[in-house]
Structure 1
């Protein structure tokens, strides 16, 4: 029996996993997930301050993650606050933290 069958990873599950991994495969995007795990909701400015990156670059990443269904955006006045829509994304960070894959 192969590992794929032992884990019950259907082609649909593998496709979804690849989609999510491609979406988060950037240090800034992983940083966003980490921050939103620690803080329920943050504004673009707050995330920018934490990650020390330009707002235009951050907005690009946030928009991409929102379009792909990983984040929620809540507009309050002129500010937009982001939160995790897919709470299980933090499991990716846990996996990376515990991985001993020659990293």
Structure 2
């Protein structure tokens, strides 16, 4: 029996972001960044991320200079990669303890 192709698989088994071409229409985050720029943010980007290239994250940072921009050497796209996970936890810890406006 051949494996099911993406359209034949149950929806739960397919990453919705890939099916729906992302969570937002292309360009919307950068276009509307003014609506969230008051929020603290860290852009954590894997150097070898093939799903979201470094240039895309850099474009977001240029539009949102208040956000910290961190490139993780040797990492790709997954938040499950230890180096990415470490940076994400460190960022949320900073948000947790830094309550300044």
Give the TM interval when normalised to the shorter protein.
0.3 to 0.5
Higher helix share: 1
TM-score normalised by the chain length of structure 2: 0.32
